[in-house]
């Protein structure tokens, strides 16, 4: 089957070099049993390539199933993929076959593979290497013959560096990589796609197909399309349904495009004076940076206060600290009335050693606890209290997913507040 016939069969529109190369690789690898990793941004049509590979393979008469790994809760994904035995966990009232058992002899497409938990990744690696798996709650090893095609919009190699994805699984999946280009890299295909979508919608809704002016075409081509083909299709449908005038100008088109035309700026690398992307690879590294930055600020504040204490001229308008004992804690002071005294809080910052003659001899820092687990637990509790136990709001405030928050609650044995 030639390339144009494949495009017609699967509804692929465009002739950009990147798209044609990806299609050629898919056709060449289809009749093998090699694992394939399809890379590309969200909305570029990665699932279509998995269907092409399956349809042109020797397994085409056997089952094909697409699984969105990011849409399955972490606690049940092992059961979904590998099955479970009756009574293996709460709610397991019957034994259940997993996808690797029901699709035996066929092809399984694992979309958003980067969302798989590490434990599930280990199980998947065993299937890829030996064709063996074990149901949840069972000790019996079972065999399966399934071809795995995976897809991701993440940088899995970067994930392997920060411990979010197994390196051995990455190289096992990446036997044959296919890169599906983003729509902004297929500018010559944008008008073709738009015309196809508007023609289909005109037929569906019994309307006249939309026509674009030259300036509207230019605007459509120069838009960055962060949602790729999926976003273009949505825009085409909106225009087909909502636009009374079927001859669209640039001004009319602008009302359908998002106000913020997203740009994709390059990520800073680890040059001098810059922060590398990997520094923010996971939650714990972010917390490390936060706490050490806070410690640095506190130390600078201490130094400023000691400079004021040692130089009376600089301290003419500064608070006066009285230290009645030989060892006392410096408090965070708040002015009460001018020249009459200060209200003290109970936050120790530093210990001052005094020889009772008014001269400061030495001081030593009081180190606060820098346990990441303690601080992480404290932040989670504060977020839950702040949002009155609403996990969704707390997870948004913490900058983590709700699934991650649920895992942290179990890990730290935190009851929902």
Q: In the chain, where are the structural domains located?
A: 3-179, 184-254, 284-365, 372-411
pTM for this entry: 0.62
Mean of all residue pLDDT scores within the chain: 81
Say what the pLDDT of residue 111 is. Answer: 96
Is the distance from CB of 221 to CB of 190 less than 8 angstroms? Answer: yes
Separation between Cα atoms, residue 195 and residue 199, nearest integer Å: 6
Topology given in CATH for the domain delimited by 372-411:
Arc Repressor Mutant, subunit A (1.10.10)
Domain 3-179: which topology? Rossmann fold (3.40.50)
pLDDT value, residue 300:
74
**Strand, helix or coil for residue 96:** strand
Q: What is the mean pLDDT of residues 288-305?
A: 69
For residue 93, the model assigns a pLDDT of 83
What would the CATH number be for the domain defined by 184-254?
1.10.8.60
Instruction: Please state the separation of Cα 210 from the chain's center in Å.
Output: 37
Q: Is residue 3 over pLDDT 60?
A: yes
What would the pLDDT profile of 33-43 be if each residue is shown by its tens digit? 999 999 999 99
- The least confident of 14-28, 196-210, 346-360, 374-388 is 346-360
pLDDT at 283: 56
DSSP state of 41: -
- Report, as an integer, the average pLDDT of 51-72: 95
Query: According to the model, what pLDDT value does residue 346 have?
Result: 43
| Residue 286 pLDDT class (50, 70, 90 cuts) | low
* Rounded-to-integer distance, Cα 75 and Cα 94, Å: 17
Range list of β-strands (E), 298-359: 327-329, 333-337, 341-344, 350-354
pLDDT at 202 over 80: yes
């Amino acid at each position: 089957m030639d390339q144009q016939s494949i495009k017609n069969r699967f509804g692929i529109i465009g002739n950009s070099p990147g798209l044609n190369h990806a299609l050629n690789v898919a056709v060449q690898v289809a009749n093998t049993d090699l694992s394939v990793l399809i890379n590309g941004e969200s909305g570029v049509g990665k699932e279509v390539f998995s269907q092409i590979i399956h349809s042109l393979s020797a397994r085409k008469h056997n089952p094909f199933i697409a699984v969105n790994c990011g849409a399955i809760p972490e606690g049940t994904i092992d059961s979904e993929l590998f099955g479970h035995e009756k009574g293996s966990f709460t709610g397991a009232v019957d034994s259940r076959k997993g996808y690797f058992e029901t699709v035996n002899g066929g092809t399984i497409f694992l979309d958003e593979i980067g969302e798989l938990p590490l434990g599930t990744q280990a199980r998947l690696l065993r299937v890829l290497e030996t064709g063996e798996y074990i149901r949840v709650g069972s000790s019996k090893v079972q065999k399966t013959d399934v071809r795995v095609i995976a897809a991701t919009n993440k940088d899995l190699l970067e994930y392997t560096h920060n411990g979010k994805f197994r390196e051995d699984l990455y190289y096992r999946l990446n036997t044959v990589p296919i890169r599906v280009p983003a729509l902004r890299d297929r500018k010559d295909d944008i008008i073709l796609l738009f015309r196809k979508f508007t023609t289909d919608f005109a037929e569906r809704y019994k309307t006249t197909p939309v026509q674009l002016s030259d300036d509207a075409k230019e605007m459509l081509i120069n838009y960055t399309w962060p949602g790729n083909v999926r976003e273009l299709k949505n825009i085409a449908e909106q225009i087909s349904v909502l636009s009374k005038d079927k001859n669209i100008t640039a001004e009319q088109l602008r009302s359908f495009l998002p106000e913020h035309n997203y740009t994709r700026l390059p990520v800073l690398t680890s040059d001098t004076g810059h922060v590398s992307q990997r520094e923010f690879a996971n939650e714990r590294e972010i917390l490390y940076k936060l706490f050490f930055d806070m410690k640095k600020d506190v130390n600078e504040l201490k130094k400023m206060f000691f400079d004021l204490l040692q130089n009376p001229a600089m301290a003419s308008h500064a608070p006066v600290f009285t230290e009645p004992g030989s060892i006392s804690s410096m408090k965070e002071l708040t002015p009460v009335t001018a020249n009459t005294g200060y209200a003290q809080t109970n936050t120790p910052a530093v210990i001052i050693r005094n020889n009772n003659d008014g001269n400061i001899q030495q001081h030593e820092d009081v180190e606060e606890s820098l346990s990441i687990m303690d601080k992480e637990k404290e932040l989670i509790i504060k977020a839950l209290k702040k949002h009155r136990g609403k996990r969704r709001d707390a997870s948004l405030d913490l900058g983590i997913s709700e699934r991650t928050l649920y895992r942290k609650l179990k890990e730290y044995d935190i009851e929902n507040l």
